[in-house]
Amino acid sequence: MMRFQGIAVSSGVAIGKAVVIGQDVFSIPSQYVAADAVEQEISRFHQAVETAAKAIERNRDLVTQELGPKSGAIFQAHLEILRDQKIHADIERLIREKQYSPERACTEVLRRYADVFRRLPNPEFAERAYDVMDIERQLLRALLGEPRRSLSHLTSPAILLARNLTPSEVANLDRKMIKGFVTELGGPTSHTAIVAQGLGIPAVVGTGPFLAEVAGGDTVIVDGDRGIVIVHPDEETLREYDQEVRSIQAFTAELEKLHDLPAVTLDGTPINIYGNIEFPHEAVLCLKHGAEGIGLYRTEFLYLGRSDLPSEEDHYRAYREVIEAMGDRIVTIRTFDLGADKVAAQFGFEKEPNPCLGLRSIRLALRHLELFRTQARAILRASVLGNIQVMFPMIATVAELRQAKLIWADVMEDLAENGIPFRHDIPIGIMVEVPSVAIMIDRFLDEVDFVSIGTNDLIQYTLAVDRTNRNVVSMYNPTDPAVLRLIAYTIQEANRKGVPVSLCGQMASHPLYTMLLIGLGLRKLSVTSSAIPEVKKVCRSVTLEQCERVARRALEMENARNIHAFLREQLVKVVPAFARMI
C-alpha cells in the first residue's frame, strides 16, 4: 500500500481502478516556414484561433448550462486570452520576422506569458499559468489536427491520474466513468480545482511525482476531504473507505430531507438561514436548498470579464431576475466591492503596493460617483418588484457611511423628480468587515437599519494576514480570540440596540462555527447555497443552552488552535457524521 499527500480541492471519496494519462506531447513537424509562405501561415494561425475558440465556447456553454455563469466565466476568460490582440501581434511578429512556424511561435509566446504568471508572488495569479498552457494546447491541436486525450475507451468507473489536467479537460470528463482524479501539479485556487468542485468530482492535486509508482488497473482511493491518495490499499483500508462512502451517501440523503424543515434548535429557537450569491441564477439554488432569502448578493460580476462598463439596464436586469425568483423573500444587494483581488480592466487601475488597503469597494464608489449612482438608480428602480435591502461594503468611518447615504438620497430625489417609481423605505445597512467599525459599532448602529458581519475581510484586517499569500495563510484563522471578541461585541451591541445583525462571511457557511455563532447571540446566517443543509442540520441538533455554553468557553480560551479543536469536539458530539468533514 502506498499513500501520497496532496491538496484536497474537491470533497468526497472515490474508489476505482486507475487510468494513467501522460502529458500531451505535440510533434511539431517544422520549426520554420519559407519566406513566401509567411502570409499563408499567418492565415493558418488565425484559422486555428477560430477552431480553438469554438472548442472553448463549447466548454463554456457546457459548464454554464450545468454549473452556471460563475464556472462558465473561466472559459470566457480563456476566450479573451485566446483573442488577445497583443498575443496575436507577438505570434505574428515571430512568424514574419523570424519565419517561425505558427506552432513554434504559439508555443514560444504563450509559454513566455505562462512564465510571467508563474513568477507572480500571489499564488492565485501564479496558477493562471495553467490556463495559458491550456490555451497553448488548444491552439496546437487546431494547428496539427491532433485530437485531445481520449477516455472514450473506458467501460467501467475509474480514477484518472495525470501530471496535470486543464480546466477544459476536467469539464469534458464523463462523470459516469470518472469517479475522481489526482494530479501531480496544481493548487487549491486553480481553475481546474474550481471546475472539479462545481462538477462534484472528488479530486486531489499537487501530490508531487507519483505516476511512476502507478500502473493502469491499480486500485486507487481518492480522499478529496483530506487530500490523501492511496494506491494498492490493503483490505482493511478498503473496508474502512467503503464504509465511509456509504456513510457519506447516507448523510447526504439525510440532509436532503431538511429542505422544507425550519432551522430551529431543539428548544425552539428559530435561526434564519439566507443564501449568498454571486450570479442571478444562484437564487434558484438557494431556494432549492431551503434559503429564507438572499443575505448577500454580490454585484461585482457585472464588471468583471468585460471590456466596457455595465449600463443601468444591465444592473436592473440582474437585480430583477433575483428579486422575481425570490418572490416576497428578502434580497440583500451589496453595492460593488471592486479592487484588491477583484480588478475590473475597464477602470485602468494603477498598481498599488497594498491593494487590500487601497482604493477598493466603497472608497472606489465614492471616487467614481457616476458608477455608484448608476448602480443606485438600478437598485431603486428594481425595489418596486419585491422585498430588497441594500448594504455598503468596507465602510471604515461614520463620515464615509454618511457620504454614501447622502449620494443614495440624492439619487432617490432625482428619480422622484423624474416620476420614476421606487420604494422610499429600503433598509440600508453596512458590512462589518473593518476593525474600526466593529470597535465603534455602537455609533454605526445609530446610522443604519441592519448590519452584516463580513468575516473574510474582518479576519484579514484584524490579524494583518493576506489570505491569498501562501507564506502567511496559516495565520488566517477565524477562531483567533481577537476575531471572536470583535464578532461577539458586534452581535452584543446590535442585539442591545435592537438592530438586526447577520453574518455572511465564509465562517457562516462552515458547520464547525454554527454552535459558536448561535451561542454568541446570532440568529441570522447567510451562507453559500450548498452549505444550507449542513448548517440547518446543526441548528436542529442543538439547544440554545448548549450553544451559549460553547460560546462562553471559546471566549475564555487563549489561542485559535485550542478553540478550533474544542469546536470540532463539540460539533462531532451532536452530529457525528461531520467527523471526517472538518
- Of how many residues is the chain composed? 582
Residue with cell 480588478: 343
The whole-number pLDDT of residue 35 equals 86
Q: What is the mean pLDDT of residues 476-492?
A: 96
**With respect to CATH, is domain 257-580 assigned 3.20.20.60?**
yes
Q: How many CB atoms lie within 10 A of CB 330?
A: 18
The span from the CA of 68 to the CA of 71, in Å, is: 6
The span from the CA of 59 to the CA of 67, in Å, is: 12
pTM of the model: 0.72
In tens, the pLDDT along 114-126 reads 888 777 766 666 6
Provide the annotated active-site residues.
Answer: 191, 504
In tens, the pLDDT along 415-446 reads 999 999 999 999 999 999 999 999 999 999 99
The span from the CA of 129 to the CA of 140, in Å, is: 17
Number of Cα atoms under 13 Å in the Cβ half of residue 5: 0
Beta strand pairing status for 272-277 and 293-297?
A: parallel
Q: Residue 455 — very low, low, confident or very high, per pLDDT cuts 50/70/90?
A: very high
In tens, the pLDDT along 71-92 reads 677 788 888 889 889 999 999 9
Q: For residues 389-406, b (16+ Cβ closer than 10 Å) or e, as one string?
A: bbbbbbbbeeebbebbee
Q: Which of 83, 202, 59, 60 minimizes the C-alpha distance to 139?
A: 83
Counting residues of the chain whose pLDDT is more than 70, the rounded percentage is 89
The whole-number pLDDT of residue 192 equals 75
The span from the CA of 529 to the CA of 287, in Å, is: 8
Contact (Cβ atoms closer than 8 angstroms) between residue 431 and residue 334:
yes
Residue 121 or 365, more confident: 365
The span from the CA of 575 to the CA of 265, in Å, is: 13
Q: What is the mean pLDDT of residues 238-255?
A: 87
Counting residues of the chain whose pLDDT is more than 90, the rounded percentage is 55
Domain span(s) for CATH 3.20.20.60 in the chain: 257-580
Q: Residue 472 — very low, low, confident or very high, per pLDDT cuts 50/70/90?
A: confident
CATH number of 2-24+149-253: 3.50.30.10
Domain span(s) for CATH 1.10.274.10 in the chain: 35-144
Average pLDDT, the chain: 88
Contact (Cβ atoms closer than 8 angstroms) between residue 404 and residue 393:
no
The whole-number pLDDT of residue 68 equals 59
Task: Say if residue 341's pLDDT is above 60.
Answer: no
The whole-number pLDDT of residue 353 equals 67
Q: What is the mean pLDDT of residues 218-237?
A: 92
Beta bridge partners of 169: none
* Three-state secondary structure call for residue 33: coil
Q: Of 6-15, 271-280, 372-381, 554-563, which gets the smallest average pLDDT?
A: 6-15
The identity of residue 281, as a single letter, is H
Contact (Cβ atoms closer than 8 angstroms) between residue 141 and residue 52:
yes
Contact (Cβ atoms closer than 8 angstroms) between residue 296 and residue 529:
no
- State the DSSP string of 374-385: HHHHHHHHHGGG
The span from the CA of 167 to the CA of 63, in Å, is: 10
In tens, the pLDDT along 195-214 reads 777 677 899 998 988 887 88
Q: What is the mean pLDDT of residues 23-28?
A: 60
CATH number of 35-144: 1.10.274.10
Contact (Cβ atoms closer than 8 angstroms) between residue 378 and residue 420:
no
The identity of residue 51, as a single letter, is T
Residue with cell 447615504: 405
Domain span(s) for CATH 3.50.30.10 in the chain: 2-24+149-253
CA angle, 424 then 425 then 427, to 5°: 130
The span from the CA of 273 to the CA of 527, in Å, is: 7
The span from the CA of 378 to the CA of 297, in Å, is: 14
The edge-to-edge listing of strands for the beta sheet with 203-205 is 2-5, 228-231, 219-223, 13-21, 158-162, 178-183, 203-205, 7-10
The span from the CA of 408 to the CA of 421, in Å, is: 15
